[in-house]
Amino acid sequence: MSHSLQSGRPAHWLDKPYYSLHAYCRHTFHEKLYKIAIDAGMTCPNRDGLLDTRGCIFCSAGGSGEFAVKAQGRSVAQQIQCGLTLFRGKQTGERFIAYFQAFTNTYAPVSRLRTLFTQALETPQIAGISIATRPDCLPETVLCLLTDLRQTFPDKFIWLELGLQTIHPRTADYIRRGYPLSCFTDAVHRLCLRRLPVIVHIILGLPGENRRQIYETISFLNTLPVFGVKLQLLHVLEGTDLAADYRAGMFRLPDQEQYTDLVIGALERLSPEIVVHRITGDGPKNLLIAPKWSLHKRAVLNRIHQEMRRRDTWQGKYAPPGHFSV
Ligand code: SF4
């Protein structure tokens, strides 16, 4: 979307100094879309032995899907109905996003994926689906399926969420990401050609990364046709190898003030065209070892917003012009 910046903040950003998902949904769908997290019973090549059995170093046993409606053998359609029931009585809009969150949600036969995604897309209250996956799990057969589904459900959207985390190979090796940067850029371009919007997950505060490296990752995103970004605070979860390194004192996490400063710097360097889906983390309470301050999510967000107002700054303040329009 192209727009002119007035005082750094376009009107469609609403009350935030960045282009939030909330603002995007209000602008595009005229209501806020809440997410219903789905556990579709997937696994991941980083866990099933194809690439590794240990998973990414920060990934919990639930494959980062602890917020999914407790699946217990339930179909996608049943999980969506459970999610809708949980939202009943709360102040929400009419429509929701089905978020295929746990593990790698394109790592299955195409026929199975078709069934899973169709169940969500044919639910009237679902405005669209967001599919968390890996760039090395997007063969052309899957892209054909997604293109086909988009044509079958023309009034619904299909977003892809890719966990890049960092552009730096040494950090990518440490976290056991399992694919090179070229695989990511190739996937983004192939998805763009098919007009399938991409949301990129970046972790701020990975061990061994300094501020300059984090901002290099942000600047790199500005050069790609990326629709959205999730800026995630690094969480240390029980049962992960990251937790062992943390307890061994191998790295320190940013405190809340340091994180506030870090995330503001990231937003300042991010193109104002890219929708910001998240600026903090949402670690499962029962597994979170550190940082505990992140549990107070509302306070974390308020602090970031207050500080951005105090500094009179906004998303893209220091980003060069010319991001791809998607
Ligand atoms: S790719 Fe995702 S699901 Fe797989 S191990 Fe890494 S974080 Fe976990």
The answer, yes or no, to whether any atom of ligand 1 lies below 6 A from the CB of 242, is no
Range of the domain at 71: 30-311
Q: Which atom of ligand 1 is nearest to the CA of 132?
A: 2
Ligand 1 pocket member 235 (CB < 6 A): no
137 lies in some domain: yes
Confidence at residue 12, expressed as pLDDT on a 0 to 100 scale: 87
**Confidence grade of residue 92 (pLDDT, cut at 50, 70, 90):** confident
Q: Is residue 316 part of a domain?
A: no
- Ligand 1 test: best mutation among 51, 64, 203, most atoms within 8 Å of CB? 64
Is 165 a pocket residue for ligand 1 (Cβ < 6 Å)?
no
126 C-beta neighbours (distance < 10 Å), count: 23
Q: What's the 19 CA to ligand 1 centre distance in angstroms?
A: 27
Residue 74 belongs to some domain of the structure = yes
Q: Is residue 319 part of a domain?
A: no
| Span of 8-12, 128-132, 252-256 with lowest mean pLDDT | 8-12
Cα–ligand 1 centroid distance for 37 (angstroms): 16
Q: Give the Å distances, CA to CA, from 312 to 16, 39, 48, 175, 216.
A: 12, 41, 48, 35, 23
Q: Would you say 76 and 108 are in contact if contact means Cβ atoms under 8 Å apart?
A: no
Banded pLDDT at 60 (limits 50, 70, 90): confident
Does the beta carbon of 63 sit less than 6 angstroms from any atom of ligand 1? yes
Helices (H), 153-255: 169-174, 181-193, 211-221, 241-247
Residue 112: inside a domain: yes
> Closest by alpha carbon to 177, among 187, 169, 189?
169
Specify whether the CB–CB gap between 286 and 60 falls below 8 A. no
Q: How far apart are CA 162 and CA 160, in angstroms?
A: 6
Decide: 175 in ligand 1 pocket, CB within 6 A: no
CATH number of the domain that residue 170 is part of: 3.20.20.70
Q: Which atom of ligand 1 is nearest to the CA of 47?
A: 5
In-domain check, residue 2: no
- How far is the centre of ligand 1, averaged over its atoms, from the C-alpha of 137 (Å)? 12
Query: Can you tell me which atom of ligand 1 is nearest the CA of 45?
Result: 4
Overall domain count for the chain: 1
Residue 20 belongs to a domain: no
* Interval 259-282: pLDDT, tens: 999 999 999 999 999 999 999 987
pTM of model > 0.85: yes
Q: Cβ(137) to ligand 1 under 6 A?
A: no
Decide: 44 in ligand 1 pocket, CB within 6 A.
yes
Share of the chain above pLDDT 70, in %: 93
* 317 found inside a domain: no
pLDDT digits (tens, 9 = 90+) for 153-175: 999 999 999 999 999 999 999 99
Task: Take atom 3 of ligand 1 and give the residue whose Cα is closest.
Answer: 103
